[in-house]
């Protein structure tokens, strides 16, 4: 709502209009917000602007910068980003942040007049999704080749969020398998240790019985059963 005061879509009503005073109050509030958000040294030069729209245009003309270098840096970062040692979640979040920053500088084109009959908005959205999907898949670690190939042959292509969900499931499945294998190794290690411990006790009991002259096989067996129990 307040953005409409600075983008010109909510222009000042006629002075005689009933809502003129209300518009002036809101516009003054927006002007105050902008002045408080910038440096005090700069704001002093704009204390007497009449509207928030005029303030915004003056600031843009004096201090606005060309977005070209920033767009170049973002595009370069998106093209070079790779998962590496990051988790799928961290990798996707990093890529999404770059996409959002680029969207602020280069918004996806849409028709809002309602007169377009060529589905331009839908086509533009699909192309944007495909671009992001390819960028996401390109940066994935090579260990995700199988799921990457599955996604690339899907018709139609899934949304980038759907593809992310599919890759995330693969990662979680791997983590579960790793934990399961780790537990199995632990059980096997304990079993070997327990067997070695039992054999040591067995040899020890036999040695003790033989030391005291108990040579009878049956006697040794009975003693061992009690000891091992």
Residues 91 and 93: their CA atoms lie apart, in Å, by 6
Contacts of 164 (CB under 8 A, 6+ apart): 88, 92, 136
The conformation of residue 111, written as its DSSP 8-state character, comes to: -
Instruction: Give which of 128, 126, 122 is closest to 107, Cα–Cα.
Output: 128
Q: Are 98 and 74 in contact (CB under 8 A)?
A: yes
Taking the model in full, what pTM does it have? 0.57
**Cα–Cα distances in angstroms (integers) from residue 190 to residues 19, 40, 45, 195, in the given order:** 81, 70, 78, 9
Tens digit of pLDDT at every position of the chain (229 positions): 678 888 888 888 888 899 999 999 999 999 999 999 888 888 888 888 899 999 989 888 887 777 888 899 999 999 999 999 999 999 999 999 999 989 888 877 766 666 666 777 888 889 999 999 999 999 999 999 999 999 999 999 999 999 999 999 999 999 998 887 666 555 566 566 566 655 555 555 555 555 555 554 444 444 444 444 4
Q: What is the 3 state secondary structure string of 148-160?
A: HHHHHCCCCCCCH
């Amino acid at each position: 709502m307040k953005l409409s005061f600075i983008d010109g879509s909510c222009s000042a009503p006629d002075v005689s209009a009933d809502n003129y005073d209300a518009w002036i109050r809101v516009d003054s509030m927006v002007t105050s917000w902008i002045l408080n958000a910038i440096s005090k040294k700069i704001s002093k030069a704009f204390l007497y602007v009449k509207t928030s729209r005029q303030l915004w245009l003056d600031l843009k003309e004096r201090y606005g910068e060309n977005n070209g270098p920033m767009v170049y840096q973002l595009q370069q970062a998106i093209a070079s980003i790779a998962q590496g040692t990051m988790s799928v979640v961290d990798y996707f979040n990093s890529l999404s942040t770059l996409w959002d920053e680029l969207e602020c500088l280069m918004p996806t084109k849409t028709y809002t007049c309602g007169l377009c009959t060529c589905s331009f908005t839908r086509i533009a959205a699909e192309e944007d999704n495909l671009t992001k999907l390819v960028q996401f898949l390109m940066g994935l670690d090579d260990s995700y080749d199988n799921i990457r190939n599955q996604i690339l042959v899907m018709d139609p292509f899934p949304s980038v969020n759907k593809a992310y969900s599919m890759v995330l499931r693969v990662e979680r499945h791997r983590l579960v398998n790793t934990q399961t294998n780790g537990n199995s190794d632990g059980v096997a290690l304990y079993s070997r240790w327990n067997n070695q411990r039992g054999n040591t006790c067995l040899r020890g009991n036999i040695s003790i019985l033989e030391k005291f002259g108990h040579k009878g096989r049956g006697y040794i067996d009975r003693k061992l059963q009690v000891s091992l129990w």
